[in-house]
Amino acid sequence: MIDHIRQSLETIAAKDRMRAVRASEMTAGGRIERDGCQLIDFSSNDYLGLALHPLLKQRSCEFIERFGAGAGASRLITGTSQAHEDIERQIAAFKGTEAALVMASGWQANAGVIPALAKAAPRTVIFADELVHNSIHAGCRGAKAEVYFYRHNDLADLQRLLNDTASTFDGRVVITESVFSMDGDGADLAALNAIAAEHDAMLYVDEAHATGVLGERGAGLTADHPGAGVVMGTFSKALGGFGAYVACSQLMRDYLVNMCAGLIFSTAPPPAVLGSMSAALELVPEMDAERAHLAALSEQLREGLLAMGYDTRGSTTQIVPLVVGAEADALALGQHLLDRSIAALPIRPPTVPNGTSRIRFALRSTLSREDVDHVLSAVAEWRDA
C-alpha cells in the first residue's frame, strides 16, 4: 500500500498539483508573518478582519471561564448548553428565520444536512449547481438520492432537468451557493426561489462567503431574497471565528435534530467558539463602512485585472480570481507575488476545472487601496516579463 501512496504523490507532483501546509501567523492590517517575513495577505477568508478583533478574543476567554474548555458531549446527550440555545436565537434573528442550529463546521453541515434532507421523501432528487463546494458534493454522494448537476448559474438548464424529472420523484431539492467560492460570482436567488416554488422543490443555499459581507446588515443574500428552506453559513470567514449554522423553520430544525447524523454524532461546539460567535453577531450588523470599503477594494482589483486582459470569471464580490490556465503558470505567478511580499496562493485542479488554474484573490476590509495597487503592479510585472 505504501508503494501505491508514493506513486500517487509522484503523479500529483508531475501534474504540478502537489500541496503542502505552511505555518503563518495573522497580524494587523491584513498581514501575515511567515518564515520571518511579513506578507500582504490576499488569501484569507477573514473578510472583515474580525479574527483579531478584541471583542471576539475577550468573549471567547469569558466563555471559557464561565463554561469550561469543552462541551463534553454531543448535542443530543448533554452537550447542549444554554449558551448554544442563546447563540441559535441570535442567528435566527440575524438571518430572519424561525430557528437555527449551530454546527461544528461548514463542511460538516453540508455533508450532514443534505443526506438528512434526502431521507425525507421515499424518492428524492437533488439538483445542484456544478460549481458548488466540495462539501456539497460530499453531501450529495452521501445522500440516497438521484443527483443532477446543472450548468453553472444556467437556470434554463435547471428548469429543463426539473421538467424532465417531474413525474419521477416525490421530493426535490435545489442546491446553490449564494456566492461561489472559486469564481466570486453570485446566484440569482430571486429566480431560484421562483423556480423552486414552481416545482414544489426545497431550495438549499450555502451562504458561507456571503454571510457578514453581503445583504442588509451583512446577513447574507438570502436575507434580501427570503424563501430558501435551508440556509447554511459559517462563522469561519467574515465572522472571524469557527463553526457553522443552519437557519431554517422550526419544523426543519426539529427534523435535523432527529435525522442529521453530522449533528447527532458530533461533540457540540465548545464554549470558546460560542463566545466568538456571540461577539461577531453583535459586531457584524454595524459594519456597513467596512463592507463598503471591501466592495470598493474588490472593484478596484477587478477593474485593474480586466484592463490587463485577465479573466476574472464574472466576479462581483470580494473573491476575485485571476485565471491563467495551466497549473505551472499559476505556480509561477504565485511565487512571483510571494517574492513581492504578497500572499495570494495558486488554486489548481481538482479544486477548479482543468485549464482554469488561477490566483484566487480574497480581499479583506483591513487592506488598503495602496495594497491593491501593489498587487496590480506585481501582476503587470509578471505579465510583461
Question: What pLDDT, on a 0 to 100 scale, did the predictor assign at position 167?
Answer: 80
| Cβ within 8 Å of residue 341, ≥6 positions away | 37, 38, 39, 40
For residue 294, CA distances in Å to 218, 290, 298 come to 12, 6, 6
Is residue 17's pLDDT more than 90? Answer: no
Q: Using CA atoms, how far apart are residues 186 and 225, in angstroms rounded to an integer? A: 13
Sheet with 202-206, strands from edge to edge, namely: 99-103, 244-248, 230-234, 202-206, 171-177, 124-129, 146-150
CATH 3.90.1150.10 residue ranges for the chain: 21-48+288-384
**What does the pLDDT look like over 289-299, one tens digit per residue?**
999 999 999 99
Tell me the CATH number of domain 54-285, given options 3.40.640.10, 1.10.40.30, 3.30.470.20, 3.40.50.200.
3.40.640.10
Closest CA to 292 of 10, 23, 48, 122: 48
Kindly state the percentage of the chain with pLDDT values over 90.
Answer: 92
Q: Given this model, what pLDDT does residue 135 score?
A: 97
d(CA 327, CA 98): 46
Question: Mean pLDDT in the chain?
Answer: 96
Class of domain 21-48+288-384: alpha beta
pLDDT at 21: 85
Catalytic residues: 45, 133, 177, 181, 206, 209, 237
What pLDDT is attached to residue 198? 96
pLDDT at 191 over 90: yes
Q: Where are the alpha helices (DSSP H) in the chain?
A: 2-14, 54-67, 82-95, 106-118, 134-142, 155-164, 189-198, 221-224, 250-259, 261-264, 271-283, 288-307, 327-339, 369-384
In this prediction, residue 16 has a pLDDT band, given cuts at 50, 70 and 90, of confident
Q: State the pLDDT at residue 317.
A: 98
Enumerate the CATH 3.40.640.10 domain ranges in the chain, comma separated. Answer: 54-285
190-209: average pLDDT: 97
**Reported pTM:** 0.94
Is residue 385's pLDDT more than 90? no
For 242-265, how does the pLDDT look when each residue is reduced to its tens digit (9 = 90+)? 999 999 999 999 999 999 999 999
Question: Would you state the pLDDT for residue 168?
Answer: 87
pLDDT of residue 51: 97
Max Cα-Cα span within the chain: 62
The 8-class DSSP code of residue 151 comes to P
* DSSP characters over 238-277: TTSS--EEEEE-HHHHHHHHHH-HHHHTSBPPPHHHHHHH
Instruction: Note whether 103 and 293 are within 8 A (CB).
Output: no
The grid cell for 120 is: 425525507
What's the pLDDT tens digit per position in 115-171? 999 999 999 999 999 999 999 999 999 998 999 999 999 999 999 999 999 888 999
Question: pLDDT tens-digit profile of 304-350?
Answer: 999 999 999 999 999 999 999 999 999 999 999 999 999 998 999 99
